[in-house]
Amino acid sequence: MTAPTLDLGERIKRIVGETAFTFLALAREYRERGRRVISFGIGQPDFVTPSHIREAAKRALDEGFTGYTETAGIPELREAIAEYLNSRYGADVKPDEVVVTTGAKTAIFIGMAAYIRPGDEVVIPEPSYYAYAQVARMFDAKPVFVPMKFEPGKGFSIDMEAVEEAVTPRTRIIVLNNPHNPTGTVFTPEEVDELYEFARKRGVMILADEIYDNFLFNGARFKSVLEHSDWRDYLIYVNGFSKTFSMTGWRLGYLVLRREVIPRILDLAVTVYSCAPSFAQKAGVEALKGDWTPVREMVKTFEERARILYSILSKAPGIEAYMPQGAFYMFPRVKTLMDALGLDDDSFVRRLLDEKGVLVLPGTAFPDKAGAGFVRISFATSTKEVEEGARLIVEFAEEAMSSSKR
């Protein structure tokens, strides 16, 4: 007889973990063997959480603020979140329309879980962050991947014709991650408006994940879906503190939904995580209401790194680079190099790591199929390492193209 603890439920069997972490573990193994590795793999700022935010958390701890809070989050944090969104986007969000979560990933989970029904479809422009598809599958929905358009030198854009063709009577949600992981694209206000108007006409919700909304480069124009006056009718809104305030380990995000559904959302949330960490919530208030100078300086540094990365990789044979507009990623096409070396995506990444000590992530880690032949480069590492790592990638590309001609 099979041990019952080996008999996992069907839902858990449908999902796949974040394959990116497989390669991060591989890089760690190389370091443990004494190899130097420049990692372009991890998607978190390489800055310490600003000191005034850390001090707010320390004060909360010293004051004994260490117990449960209400599931929705402490009132002052929900008020601060609403004030931030309203002052920036004119959104008219009410504090009781905000649910504080244990990171934006939990907000994605709670938001999708609340609405998805078995047999529904979730339209996901790809390449994409992996979590959207996994949550859809967990709740018996079908992820429908729609490849974005790629133009060498310019990057990615939404293929609206393909999105429109992908939407069926079963479509429940369209995902819009803007600024975009893994491509570093900032979709234009016109693209956002067109997608929103289409969703409205079809009676489909948009899951707007705007976790990178403060990482904007070269004057990129960003429009939040919250700027539409009837957002309450169509929007599941996700954001958080991890990227903007370099608070990845604090696990603090939030979900915005219309007031009428919040009581049931809280029933779901309290079942999953009770509440976000109490002292982290106090730190979140300080993050939003305190000094934003460290955020502006960090974003300026990332913009400088984006320029360095592009200026170097744009000269590499077999690499189709472009200037990222936001987040902290580039997703260049390297299929020419893969073909020259006779390698698939994973093997290409492993060979680059083995020969040059540089880790990038295979595009296939950002499902479904549109990422094949691409790699994600996260420039969330020191400026010196961005420059050195980019030059090593160019060196690798030159050697690969040269050997293929022999």
Sorted by where each begins, the domain ranges of the chain are: 4-48+293-404, 51-289
SS3 375: strand
**Distance (Å, whole) CA 301 – CA 307:** 10
* Contact assessment for residue 289 and residue 67, using Cβ atoms and an 8 Å cutoff: no
**Distance (Å, whole) CA 287 – CA 52:** 8
Q: Count of CB atoms within 10 A of residue 18's CB?
A: 14
Sequence-distant (≥ 6) Cβ neighbours of residue 298 within 8 angstroms: 45, 47, 246
**Distance (Å, whole) CA 251 – CA 57:** 13
**Distance (Å, whole) CA 332 – CA 373:** 9
* Contact assessment for residue 177 and residue 327, using Cβ atoms and an 8 Å cutoff: no
Q: What is the DSSP letter of 18?
A: -
SS3 179: coil
Beta strands 38-39 and 358-359 are parallel
Sequence-distant (≥ 6) Cβ neighbours of residue 2 within 8 angstroms: none
Q: What is the DSSP letter of 143?
A: E
End-to-end Cα, the chain, rounded Å:
59
Please check whether the two domains, 4-48+293-404 and 51-289, share a CATH topology. no
pLDDT of res. 30: 87
pLDDT in tens, the chain (406 residues): 789 988 888 888 887 777 777 888 888 898 899 999 999 998 899 999 999 999 999 999 999 999 999 999 999 999 999 999 999 999 999 999 999 999 999 999 999 999 999 999 999 999 999 999 999 999 999 999 999 999 999 999 999 999 999 999 999 999 999 999 999 999 999 999 999 999 999 999 999 999 999 999 999 999 999 999 999 999 999 999 999 999 999 999 999 999 999 999 999 999 999 999 999 999 999 999 999 999 999 999 999 999 999 999 999 999 999 999 999 999 999 999 999 999 999 999 999 999 999 999 999 999 989 999 999 999 999 999 999 999 999 999 999 998 766 5
**Distance (Å, whole) CA 53 – CA 372:** 40
Residue 293, classified by CB atoms within 10 Å of its CB into exposed (0-12), middle (13-18) or buried (19+), is exposed
The model's pTM is 0.96
Pick the CATH number of 51-289 from 3.40.190.10, 3.40.50.300, 3.40.640.10, 1.10.1740.10: 3.40.640.10
pLDDT of res. 11: 84
- Residue 102, sorted as left (phi over 0), alpha (psi -120 to 50) or beta, turns out to be beta
Residue 398, classified by CB atoms within 10 Å of its CB into exposed (0-12), middle (13-18) or buried (19+), is middle
Homologous superfamily of the 4-48+293-404 domain (CATH)? Aspartate Aminotransferase, domain 1 (3.90.1150.10)
Q: Which two tokens stand for residue 122?
A: 């979730």
pLDDT of res. 406: 57
Give the closest residue to 49 by CA, choosing from 41, 39, 59, 57: 57
Q: 322 pairs with which residues across the strands? A: 153
* Contact assessment for residue 329 and residue 376, using Cβ atoms and an 8 Å cutoff: yes
Beta strands 121-126 and 155-157 are unpaired
* DSSP, residue by residue, 288-302: HHS--HHHHHHHHHH
pLDDT of res. 404: 67
What does each C-alpha distance from 224 to 100, 151, 204, 239 come to in angstroms? Answer: 19, 24, 17, 11
